[in-house]
Structure 1
Amino acid sequence: MTSGPYSTDTAPLAHTDALVLDYLAALWAATDDLEPELRDELMTTVADYIALRRSVSGGPVEDPAQILRRLGSPESLAAAARRGRVPAHLRRPVPAPAVPAAPSSGAEYAGLALLTAGAVVLPVLGPFAGMLLISGSPRWSAAHKTAAWVLAAGPALLGFALVVLAVMLGGGPDTLVVAYLMTLAGGFVAALCLLPGLSARRHYPPGY
């Protein structure tokens, strides 16, 4: 058997390995007239093709003859390489491009600003308007939006209830301060919960 650069092991070979090495040796001989770079590229591509298809469904293929038949004869591969093209069945799949981070819109930043700075100026209306903007953004999942709504609206509702209770019981102005601080804290905590989503790579579809 002709020895090529892919047959350096002198141990006894299984029948399946011998078939593959015979094929690679024949291909090596058939491409003797090719440029060294093109020859090496073709040999590597064919060897990778065989290796990939000998490991299917978690187990090796018993008979590689079917794989070699799909490849075609070494002479046909060499002829295709001389014509400057790789046979279609040998073309490697193009890796899927990395999904870039979804661009953040101005509305998303405005929503976070209303949750924080807006809560200082308009303790209830600011966070509410900010959450409306955030709810319409595909940046965050429905779970993140729900958590932000709870964090922003919960303290505001408790503060409102505290104010109503204070009015009914004749409470002082300290109650208004506490309610204001609760609303302010809720907006800031909700914004902190949403902030990591601005740099996340995943782009959630609306309504997810």
Structure 2
Amino acid sequence: MAETFTRLDRRKIRIAARGAEERRRHRRLPLHLHGRFLDSRHQEEKCRLIDISPGGAKVATRVPPMPGDFVVLLVDGLGRLDGRVLRKGDNWFSLQFAAHARKRDRLADAITWRFNMQRLGLEEDRAAPRKEGRGRAKIHFADGVVIDADVIDVSISGAAFACLERPRKGEEVRVGEMRGHVARIWDGGFAVAFMPPNAASASAA
């Protein structure tokens, strides 16, 4: 009997972990990109993202479509997104994307990249092929040193950079509007863990 309870407990833990991961993956982020959409009546309207996750988005527009309508959303920097309208207001609507897991993963990477570009002051590498997580950033250290580094990867909680300089682990840094500390170091690069916005503000004060 005890073994049965243990198996059930482990199963509940796995289910809860998967649910927590899914909630993290579908966290809505404010991302104000312009675009247009085509509704089921083949009418095209200009629009602007209010927020977005890999599972859906809230969109501002002059003439929102009706709940239940299937729309094709074209957003600068994110491409084509298909989905069905869930709710609408006077000048907005929300929709749920119709996408398979692989496309949602790619969309999650694109959303994260676009969300962090402005906050981190990233300069896109125009000479290189377009790839999520590619760009240049200026990294400011507490002693006044500023270095340029290539972005390897970026997420909501941190970023990895490639450069020749080797900072000290734990050293405080600022990248654009974000503050954090050096969390890991390896040959040719390092990773920064960002502080939560409220903690970063307190540290700056």
Give me the TM-score of the superposition, normalised by structure 1.
0.21
Q: Which gives a bigger RCO, structure 1 or 2 (Cα 8 Å, sep 6+)?
A: 1
More strand by share: 2
Give me the TM-score of the superposition, normalised by structure 2.
0.21
More helix by share: 1
